[in-house]
Each structure stands twice: as structure tokens, then as C-alpha cells.
Structure 1
């Protein structure tokens, strides 16, 4: 939940926005003389300094060390972001041209990977993508592949190109012709259904085509609840390149670098955080202390959802709280619309 913001005067808002814009550009604490020289405010250094002191008392600015200028707080960035999201936005032309190239791929995993990589390049943050939660996606294809005498791989194609593999242990050996027949019966009875529907109705849909108690179809009837239950942890999470992000001054602090490495290594933690966003359509932005994970205390997450039939996935970026929010938000929103146009067919 976002903190309640008190009303600021026009002068306070103007100076706060000037501090934020300057700090985003330079990554250096901002002083009153710097703002006065930059023009646009029409105020003396003393007037600006007094207003900056008021903003510090209200929790919008802080002084990282004595005699330094001021730096925006999470509270200041929240005010800034709320103002940005209230305005109409369009992605820069150069970003659009880069993102349009992801249309060259059709498989969901490849499209997401290319989108995440493009976001990393365009924003200089860490782009990432999460494939849709497939529970409400329609089953389009079923294949069975023998791995050993008593082990097969069930390959499910869900929606437009999401492929999931499940390993199934058999209690006896079956020849290839019987496996082919089994796959054919599964396709005949289950394609066109959601995984949720399959879990709840598999027994009734399959029981009349079981030949005998030794029929391998019994395994799918008895284990439908688990075989067709693809958990959140099974979702694919892909990251773009970290090279541009790592050059930002925030990563001179080894703690921030360790937090980022920890986050990319522990994908399940990020998937857990993203679960709530998957259920909420549209743009979502969490800044610094608003994030649930301690590893994200100095970072901002900007995400948007994309549609693929009844399913939705997530695309977004992770970066230091000092980021060009106008640019990042517009690019993430455009990417989400582009993915939906490609995949929601």
C-alpha cells in the first residue's frame, strides 16, 4: 500500500521535481546552487535551500552526508511516479523500433527472452519476463515420449506455444504402439479443456475408454490431480542482460550488487512476489521499501501484464530507485501491449 502523501505547495512540488530530475540524470546529491543555476525555477539559492529543508522535514529528501546536497527518498519517488502515471505516455521511437524486432520469434519462451533482453538494452535496467500461469490455458496438444522401459515424458502444449513436460513413472513396460494409442486417446478426450477442467473431470472423460485394469490410461485417471497441476514454481522466469545495469553508480555499493545477484539466483522468491501482480491487470510499480523482499529495498520494480487467451503473464524491469520513470514506464507498457498483440490470438 502506498503511503498517504501530504499536500505540497506549488513551489515545493516544483523544487522536488527539479531535484528528482537532476538526481536521476547525474546520480549526485543535488544542491540549491545547482538548481538555481539550471534556471527554470526563478528562485535564489537561499529560497531553494529553505524549501529543500522543508521537504527534508516532510520526508521527501535526505542528506546522505554533511555538507552534501539532497537526494530523493522513496516517498519522493512515489509522488513523482503517481504524477507520471496520471499522464498520457508513449514509448520513444527508438525503443519501439528495437521492440518490434521481437516479432521475429513465435515461441513464447523465445519471445519473452527477447523482450527481456530488449528492455535491458533500452532502459539500462534489468529486464525480465514471466510466462503465463497455465491453469486456465486450453490444452492444445499431448505427446508421450519414452525415456526408459518404465518412464515416459508427457509433453503438453497449452495455449499458443507454452510447452510443459511432466515425467510419468509406469508400473510396467508398454510397447510403442500402446503408448501411441494412449497419446491419441488423451488428445481425443482432453484437448480444448483447461488444466483445471482436466483435473476435475478426467475420470469421467476417460473411464469409458479404459480397456482393462492393466491399461496405462488408469495412471492418468488416478493421478490427474497431480499430473495436470502445474504450480507457480513451474513458470518460466527469464532475465535480460545485466551488463548495462551493473555499470550504474549504485553498484559501486557491493551490498546492492549482492542483492541483485541473490535475486536472480533465487527465482522462486521473485515468482512468489509476482504472484499477486499476476492477479492484478495492468501496470504495477513498487519502490524501495514498498517491496516485500529485503533484497529489493534499494530497487524499483516496474511491471505490466500481457494477455495470452485466458492466461496472463508479466513483463517488466528491476533497477535502482533512481531510474528514468517516464521512459521506463512507457517502454514497459508498450512491451506489454506488443506481447498481448502477438500472443493473445
Structure 2
């Protein structure tokens, strides 16, 4: 319980608000890595299945519009759209109101599928804005599939493990921590859809670089969307402790995100 209390108190000390979700995931990876003394990885939830609540258009200039997108459970995304012609604030407010009324309660991936057939409802200028907005949904989804929002913590803590007194092992773990594509691959393949723990040890891992390591992963929920969390470290790790830590941390993320 000491480890769990440490994680909770450190996250509380960070005083992360609802609109600072990205800070929550980054801070969690650092704290979990320090407490576990392993590499800790936290990915942002994939919002493609997130339930749309509302959006707001903020005019930045004659050809730039800031979109503030609110997803159920307090997830907020911002996008800057570059438009071909000037649109007044009044028209942008009307457009936002229409969009919110039409799509409130739908998942973002549903909006992407439904919208092309409804573009004729908008005037030419307005349809251009909506088109760019829908394209930005696609970009968000593509970025998430590539793991653009994944946070790795604990590099300075895992190297204190006895295995990494060996210079070669030290080099290997540093390279692993910096190999973003490999970390993304691990998290795309080592997480079960039902939030259960998944443990792969040594040769059970697909990648040769992981033959000397174990990976323990699970997922967490923020409303309708899921993110992933896990640890990577020596095969002799205390698995019962890591499972307990990940269960607790996953639940804690759920609670903080729900505020």
C-alpha cells in the first residue's frame, strides 16, 4: 500500500486539472517509473470513439480558426484550421451551434462517416470549414494510431537496477527507452480489449530487443475511450507488485479524469 499511497500523493501534489489531461499522462509515467523503478509507459486515450459534446470556433485571424473540441469525460482537444476566406465571428458562432445540435452525442468516428453526405446543407464557405474540421478528426486518429501521444518515464530509475551495471545492458535499456516505434508496437500488441493484465516474459515478446525483459500492460478508461499503461523491466521483476501498481494507477487515472 505504501507504493500506491506514494503514487496518489504525488499526483495530488501535481494538482492536475481536468483540462490538463496531457500533463496527467506525462506525470503518471514519471511517478509510476520512479515508484516501480522500471520503464513506465502511458498512452493518451484514443478519442476516435469518444462521444462528442460540443465545439467552439475562435477566430484567430482572417484565415485561421481555433477549434476547441469537448469530448465526454472532460477530454479537450484543440485544432487550428487554415481557411481560404474570411468568415465573420457571427457566422462561426452559428456554424458551431448548428454543428453541436446535429452531432452532439455521436462518436467522432461516426461524425467522420456521416458528414460527407451532409456538406450540401452548408454554404460554400461554411462547408470548407466543416470539411477541414472533419479532416482534422482523421489526422487526430492517424496521429493516435502512430502513438504520437505516448509518455515514457522511469529511465533514470530503471538504470539503477543491478542488471544495468553492465555497460552493454545499460546501452540496451537506454536505446529501448528512446525507441518510440518499438514502445508503440509493444502497446498496440500487448493490451487486451477487456482491461485485463497482459504479461509477456523474455522470448514471449515479439521483438528480439525485448528478449531480456518483461512487459506488463493493461488499459484504463476515460468515459467511452481507452488508453494504455504498463511497465517494462528485468524478467526478475516482482510481478504481483507490478500488477497491483498498474491496477491502482489505472483506477486512479479513471478517477482523476472523471472529475
Give the match for residue 28 of structure 1: none
1:169 lines up with 2:82 in the alignment: yes
Give the match for residue 266 of structure 1: 179
Please give the alpha-carbon distance, in whole angstroms, between the structure 1 residues aligned to 2:130 and 2:176.
37
Structure 1 residue 307: Cα displacement? 1.5
Structure 2 gaps, min length 5: none
Please give the alpha-carbon distance, in whole angstroms, between the structure 1 residues aligned to 2:243 and 2:192.
20
Please give the alpha-carbon distance, in whole angstroms, between the structure 1 residues aligned to 2:148 and 2:248.
23
Equivalent of residue 200 in structure 1, options 113, 123, 134:
113
Contact 1:155 1:166 in 2 (8 A): yes
Equivalent of residue 54 in structure 2, options 129, 141, 163:
141
Equivalent of residue 16 in structure 2, options 89, 100, 105:
105
Structure 1 residue 129: Cα displacement? 0.9
1:318 lines up with 2:232 in the alignment: yes
Give the match for residue 216 of structure 1: 126
Please give the alpha-carbon distance, in whole angstroms, between the structure 2 residues aligned to 1:335 and 1:134.
20
1:284 lines up with 2:193 in the alignment: no
Equivalent of residue 227 in structure 1, options 118, 125, 136:
136
Give the match for residue 34 of structure 2: 121
- The structure with the largest alpha-carbon Rg is 1
Equivalent of residue 328 in structure 1, options 227, 242, 252:
242
RMSD: 2.7
The DSSP-based 3-state class of the residue aligned with 1:173 is coil
Please give the alpha-carbon distance, in whole angstroms, between the structure 1 residues aligned to 2:34 and 2:40.
8
- Give the count of matched residue pairs: 249
The TM-score normalised by the length of structure 2 is 0.82
Structure 1 gaps, min length 5: 1-92
Equivalent of residue 304 in structure 1, options 218, 225, 234:
218
The DSSP-based 3-state class of the residue aligned with 1:307 is strand
Please give the alpha-carbon distance, in whole angstroms, between the structure 2 residues aligned to 1:181 and 1:237.
36
Of structures 1 and 2, the one with the larger relative CO (CA 8 A, separation 6+) is 2
Please give the alpha-carbon distance, in whole angstroms, between the structure 2 residues aligned to 1:139 and 1:278.
25
Structure 1 residue 255: Cα displacement? 3.4
Contact 2:39 2:158 in 1 (8 A): yes
The DSSP-based 3-state class of the residue aligned with 2:23 is helix
The TM-score normalised by the length of structure 1 is 0.63
Name the one with the larger strand percent.
2
Structure 1 residue 136: Cα displacement? 1.0
Please give the alpha-carbon distance, in whole angstroms, between the structure 2 residues aligned to 1:258 and 1:179.
53
Structure 1 residue 191: Cα displacement? 2.8
